[in-house]
Amino acid sequence: MKKVFIIAEIGINHNGNLDLAKKMILEAKNCGVDAVKFQKRDINLVYTKEELDKPRESPWGNTQRQQKEGLEFSEEQYAQIDKYCQKIEIEWFSSAWDLNSLNFLKKFNLKNNKIASAMIVDKNFLKEVAKQKKHTFISTGMCSIENIRDAVDIFRTENCSFELMHCISAYPFDDRNANLGLISSLKKEFKCDVGYSGHEKGGYAVCFAATALGITSLERHFTLDRTMYGSDQSASITPKAMKDLVLGVRTIEQALQSGGKKQILEIEVEVAKKLRKHLKI
């Protein structure tokens, strides 16, 4: 099986604090993940003026606009994130939520793109992402098979490398709603790699089961403290949990290496001689 590409989704859990973001990146690196991911929005495109003008208490003020602006990093801050990730040797990328943000991210030499589940229904956006020819993780939460098929067709037409990510878009959700059988269904239907983007409440069981089903990527929201301000904190896991998760995934990968071929292993030979000594064969 392919090595699972493990992504720590920092998203907006940094709360607009660059020092906190760097600390999260370092903690994720120490947990053994392959990459960290952020989210980028042009709030004037993603939200209406009416929505931004609504009242909302937050650390940055008392309107939705102030809260949304407080969560967004500037170009200079992303430049520092890029430099820091290069320094400690960890990959980073981001999910863009609009075309302006997609163009903004071109300023950085990122290897991957990510389609958030919310964006999979926007065909024009998908085409612009696919034209970049970067490997793209496509989350498939809250969408139909037809939505997924449209996305796959676009990326194949543009000859852009991609993998689907099975996802349940609830933050968090009960393990019983994970619907992991869809991983195999998506592989069969679309003849492509499939990962898993998880937001479940429970421990590691769902992610471990997804790994055993042959996912090629695994994304979990990441935080230093689940009690911090933010809508995604409760669906996130802490450094200790992430470290345990990475260790478990790597252990499962090793356990699946033989590929299911039955053979007598070297470690069994002497045991067989001892335990069958009494047999007259």
- Which residue in the block uniquely carries the two structure tokens 């796959």? 152
**pLDDT category of residue 15 using cuts at 50, 70 and 90:** very high
Q: How far is CA 196 from the centre of its chain?
A: 7
Could you tell me the residue ranges of all domains in the chain? 5-275
Number of Cβ within 10 Å of residue 229's Cβ equals 14
Average confidence (pLDDT) over 272-281: 90
pLDDT digits (tens, 9 = 90+) for 33-65: 999 999 999 999 999 999 999 999 999 999 999
Q: Select from 72, 65, 66, 58 the least CA-distant residue to 18.
A: 72
Provide the pLDDT for residue 73.
Answer: 97
b/e map 177-216, b = 16+ CB within 10 Å? ebebebbeebbeebebbbbbbbbbeeebebbbbbbebebb
- 115-145 pLDDT, tens digit each: 999 999 999 999 999 999 999 999 999 999 9
pTM of the model: 0.94
- Does the structure show a pLDDT above 80 at 260? no
**Would you place residue 186 in the very low, low, confident or very high pLDDT band (cuts 50, 70, 90)?**
very high
* pLDDT score for 33: 98
CATH, range 5-275: 3.20.20.70
Q: First and final CA of the chain: distance in angstroms?
A: 38
